Every structure is written in C-alpha cells, then in structure tokens.
Amino acid sequence: MGRDGAEGLLAVHNRKCYTVAQDRDSSIVYGMPKAAVQLGGVTDILPASKIGKAINNYIILKQSKK
C-alpha cells in the first residue's frame, strides 16, 4: 500500500492542525491509518464511530476560543 495519504496527514499535522486516524479494531484495512500513526501525523486514534463527534467537538472548542 502507498503512504501518500499518511504523508499528507503528517503535513497537515505538522501545521498544528487536528488530525485523526481510525483505530485498528474498527478498521477493515488498517494500512493508511497505521502508516499515519507510525509517521507521527495523528493527534487522536479513534474507532470509526467516534471520529465524527471528535471532529465536531474540536470545531466547537476552537470556536469558543475566538
């Protein structure tokens, strides 16, 4: 599998942005999330069912700090 997605996520993470990867247990194929985690480009590692809420909570938190 390619690592271009993981490298892209790392680039976003390196710009101090919030990044999230799906955890191994909820993944059918763990290739890209695993590569992103190994590269250090992930803020949070979550089950698929919790990713949307985590992103929403992050947005709400950022907006409340304005």
Q: Kindly report, residue by residue over 4-32, the tens digit of the pLDDT.
A: 899 999 999 999 999 999 999 999 999 99
Largest CA distance in the chain: 40
pTM of this prediction? 0.87
Q: What pLDDT shows up at residue 21?
A: 96
> What pLDDT is attached to residue 66?
80
Interatomic CA distance for residues 40 and 50, integer angstroms:
20
36: exposed, middle or buried (Cβ count in 10 Å: 0-12, 13-18, 19+): buried
Whole-angstrom CA distances from 3 to 20, 42, 50, 58 are 16, 14, 24, 26
Q: Which has the higher per-residue pLDDT, 10 or 2?
A: 10
For residue 3, the model assigns a pLDDT of: 83
Domain ranges of the chain: 4-64
